[in-house]
Structure 1
Amino acid sequence: MVSPSPHFVVFANEKGGTGKSTSCVHTAVALAMRDVKVAVVDLDHRQRTVARYLENRSETARRREISLPTPAYRVFSSGSIEGFNALIAELAEEFEVIVIDTPGRDDPLARYAAARANTLVTPMNDSFVDFDLIGQVDAETFKVRKLSFYSELIFETRKTRAMADGVSIDWVVLRNRLHHMEARNQKRVGEALTELSRRVGFRVIPGLSERVIFRELFPSGLTLLDRGHLGELGVSHVAARQELREMITGLSLPLPQRAAMAQSAA
């Protein structure tokens, strides 16, 4: 029997180009592969990146006549909180995990979805340009000077949620790495993230490198976890697959017993 209270994973970042939708869709597919009953809600009805990726995946499965574990997915376009709640209530009757992708901009519904999260994932590229979303650093010392508006918002959201229903939102900053980045700057970003995480209580985990392979998979909807359907793989593909697995593990999402057993056997 499916629990009436699914686990909500919300991918949110008010900046675009951080790998948010890519991380979201790969997480959802990884869960589906582990026999988790998972649904994805794409709130970015203008871009529809996650929905398009999963549509491409379904089309590839039909065209090749193969089985590809694929989460259910819906695009929500009305912007109505009442309509969103109705959709979530409907999905909660069937699914164990609901993954929500939000637009890469300030959006009232995205804020509301973040407040519903059990796991809130904020992907960022490993640079001070993206770090500015969550905190500001001193130009000389690179020490954190102050929290950003977004960090303050999430901090208050987590506090309000804990007081309202006792739920502690697990805030995860997903550090998507740029492989060509200067090592000294990468170290400074890491130190600033560590300092800020102690102030506001998020976790930092490694994400995905900026690899062409993830973008090239979009037309087919395949992921690096789709063994046997990707053709010949190079060293970079194997490294990227390992990064993806480490990212999924780092999210520490609760898995039903059967899914945990499937993960152990994989």
Structure 2
Amino acid sequence: MSFDAEAPDLRPAHVIVVANEKGGVGKSTLSIHLSVALMKAGYRVATIDLDTRQRSLTRFYENRASFARTAPWAVELPRHFALDHVRGAQAQDNESAEFAAFAEAIGEVEHAYEFVVIDTPASDTYLMRLAHSLADTLISPMNDSFIDMDVLSKVHHDRAHRGAVAQYAEIVLEARRKRRLVDNGLIDWVLVRNRIAALHSNNARQVDQALRKLAVELQFRVAEGLRDRVIFRELFPIGLTALDAIEEANCQLTPSQMTARREIATLVSDLRLPSRVEGANYLEARHVWFESLSSYYRELKS
């Protein structure tokens, strides 16, 4: 991707949603490194944390903002939003309030920023489904395990029950149907294999074969993600990533850290994100979509 300073200021932001109903697969780690990588490439980036319980993305950027105040180099920061979970007595009122907060966040950044990275909770919530329907690029990280694959396609010893579309894949398919209604657009679904073992095992080969078959059926792409590296955990408390100039803080780069940088760069390249976001028609369609939902909630209240 290349940064074009002559591009017009008004354009719809490209929405990247990092999501999977399975927990512990590295959603926040990917959201962190992807948003930092885009900022370092010169793009204007906004981030939205929909995980109202864990808030890992929010804590990371709080740590990063604190470090930035006395940092020996310029530290990139996004326009960050952390949405709150509404806990009223009426579920319809709660969803209406959450939708309004989410729509307000999107409205603030859709012109001024080129990418919006949304981190989602590991649960089937209203906001999680809403984010899916707005995704231009959907990134679903998973560990190299049939346990994680079971949220996409049923893993069963009985062939009669094996292969049925599972709960999370149903969420994505429904989001795609809704997206086509808005602007006849497509959600580019990328399944990212995280924490792949350094040595290839029989399990890894079987998972790879199963994913290649499933990719055709569910129409997603497969990309290799990030290994489970100590550096990711060590730098989180100070709000830094392997992409940051930690060598300028008198910290010597290790071979693992240099490899981590290459992994992140490869992942960003494999996502095939646009170098510049285009499509005023989609921006208008998004407004129509939000207005239709607003009308729906007004009718529910009346």
Question: Under a length normalisation based on structure 1, what TM-score does the superposition of the two structures give?
Answer: 0.89
Per-residue displacement from partner, 1:26-65 (whole Å, max 9, x unpaired)?
1001111111111000111221111111111121121334
Residue 175 (structure 2) pairs with residue 168 (structure 1): no
Residue 204 (structure 2) pairs with residue 186 (structure 1): yes
Rg comparison, structure with higher value: 2
| Cα distance between partner residues in 2 of 1:197 and 1:206 | 14
Secondary structure (helix, strand or coil) at the match of 1:135 reads coil
CA deviation after TM superposition for structure 1 residue 215, in Å: 1.1
| Cα distance between partner residues in 2 of 1:181 and 1:58 | 38
CA deviation after TM superposition for structure 1 residue 82, in Å: 2.1
Asked if structure 2 preserves the Cα contact closer than 8 Å seen for 1:39 and 1:72, the reply is yes
- RMSD of aligned alpha carbons: 2.0
Aligned to 1:25: 32
Look up the equivalent residue of 2:196 and give its one-letter code: L
CA deviation after TM superposition for structure 1 residue 78, in Å: 4.5
Pairwise mapping of residues 196-215 of structure 1 onto structure 2 (< 5 A)? Answer: 196-215=214-233
Look up the equivalent residue of 1:173 and give its one-letter code: L
Residue 176 (structure 2) pairs with residue 158 (structure 1): yes
Asked if structure 1 preserves the Cα contact closer than 8 Å seen for 2:35 and 2:45, the reply is yes
Residue 248 (structure 2) pairs with residue 248 (structure 1): no
Provide the identity percentage.
39
CA deviation after TM superposition for structure 1 residue 182, in Å: 5.9
Q: Which runs of 5+ in 2 are unaligned?
A: 1-7, 87-97, 278-302
Per-residue displacement from partner, 1:109-166 (whole Å, max 9, x unpaired)?
111111000001111111111111111234388x962221211221232133124311
Which of 17, 22, 37 aligns to 1:15? It is 22
Aligned to 1:232: 252
Asked if structure 2 preserves the Cα contact closer than 8 Å seen for 1:144 and 1:195, the reply is no
CA deviation after TM superposition for structure 1 residue 68, in Å: 1.2
Aligned to 2:235: 217
| Cα distance between partner residues in 2 of 1:146 and 1:119 | 24
Which of 31, 46, 59 aligns to 2:66? It is 59
| Cα distance between partner residues in 2 of 1:181 and 1:111 | 36
Residue 13 (structure 2) pairs with residue 6 (structure 1): yes
Q: Whose strand proportion is higher, 1 or 2?
A: 1
Between stretches 228-237 and 184-193, larger displacement belongs to 228-237
Between stretches 49-58 and 176-185, larger displacement belongs to 176-185
Asked if structure 1 preserves the Cα contact closer than 8 Å seen for 2:72 and 2:248, the reply is no
| Cα distance between partner residues in 1 of 2:162 and 2:117 | 31
| Cα distance between partner residues in 2 of 1:32 and 1:209 | 22
Look up the equivalent residue of 2:24 and give its one-letter code: G
Question: Under a length normalisation based on structure 2, what TM-score does the superposition of the two structures give?
Answer: 0.79
Look up the equivalent residue of 2:241 and give its one-letter code: T
Secondary structure (helix, strand or coil) at the match of 1:122 reads strand
Which of 67, 74, 81 aligns to 1:74? It is 81
| Cα distance between partner residues in 2 of 1:214 and 1:46 | 21
Change (3 A) 1:14 1:93: same
Q: Which runs of 5+ in 1 are unaligned?
A: 258-266
CA deviation after TM superposition for structure 1 residue 3, in Å: 2.9
Change (3 A) 1:144 1:67: farther
| Cα distance between partner residues in 2 of 1:130 and 1:240 | 23
Q: How many residues align?
A: 256
- Deviating runs (4+, > 4 A) in structure 1? none
| Cα distance between partner residues in 1 of 2:121 and 2:170 | 19
Asked if structure 2 preserves the Cα contact closer than 8 Å seen for 1:36 and 1:256, the reply is no
Secondary structure (helix, strand or coil) at the match of 2:193 reads strand
